[in-house]
Amino acid sequence: MGMNYLHSVLCRSKLWECASATRIVPWALTGLDLGACALEIGPGYGANIASLRRRAATLTGVEIDPVLATRLRERSGSDVRVVDGDGAAMPLPDNEFNSVVCFTMLHHVPSPPRQDDLFAEAFRVLRPGGVFAGSDGLDSLSFRLMHVGDTCVPVPPRTMADRLARAGFTDIDIATRSKMFRFRARRP
């Protein structure tokens, strides 16, 4: 599950923070209302915290890497409540959030069934009417090379609609552009 060295240097860089906050999050969340209470699965170094806080009054993050969780807790203070845990088995109650989001993390979840568990967990912790949205990289040679020695199970976007529907979601929308796809879906 850990990130390789190059990847971890990239992920904690200002360059990445800027790319994620200006290119990924705005595109992934275009036209969506996160409501008052949002959850980010896999916040990592926290590149998206500031942009998410502009969109939701309270933000929680569930992070599987305890070192990153501690670092984020120390750095982000009251901007985000950081919970140690696995997005595929979250230590959080049912029906708690208006929105659940994740960016550039699904490919780190080590198998398609485990990714499906994460979708089911997102559904469970959402309130009825809540939105699940995010984005991830498309499979490619360069994407694979960046993850050598690292978990890399890219999600084929053409499978997403069925997989989200199986988890119970409706109003599913998937879009792709160069190097990435986004998804959004609603808990009925």
Q: In what order do the strands lie in the sheet with 126-137?
A: 81-84, 58-63, 37-41, 97-103, 126-137, 180-186, 170-177
Give min distance, CB of 72 to ligand SAM, in A: 9
Q: In the complex, what is the shortest distance from the CB of residue 121 to ligand SAM, in angstroms, rounded to a whole number?
A: 9
Nearer to ligand SAM, 43 or 130 (CB): 43
Closer CB to ligand SAM, 98 or 135, in the complex: 135
How far is C-alpha 49 from the chain's CA centre?
Answer: 12
Show the beta-strand stretches assigned E in 33-108.
37-41, 58-63, 81-84, 97-103
Q: Which of 89, 83, 171 is nearest to 132 (CA)?
A: 171
Closest CB to ligand SAM among residues 45, 169: 45
The answer to whether 94 and 115 are in contact (CB under 8 A) is no
Adjacent-strand bridge partners of 58: 37
CB of 54 to ligand SAM, least distance (A): 16
Q: Which is nearer to ligand SAM, 15 or 129 (CB)?
A: 15
Report the residue number, 93 or 128, with the smaller CB distance to ligand SAM.
93
Residue 93 backbone phi and psi in degrees, to 5: -70, 165
Task: Write down the least CB distance from residue 46 to ligand SAM, Å.
Answer: 8
Give residues in contact with ligand SAM (CB under 6 A): 1, 11, 20, 41-44, 47-48, 62-65, 68, 86-88, 103-105, 108-109
Rounded least distance, CB 51 to ligand SAM, Å? 10
In this structure, what DSSP letter does residue 139 have? P
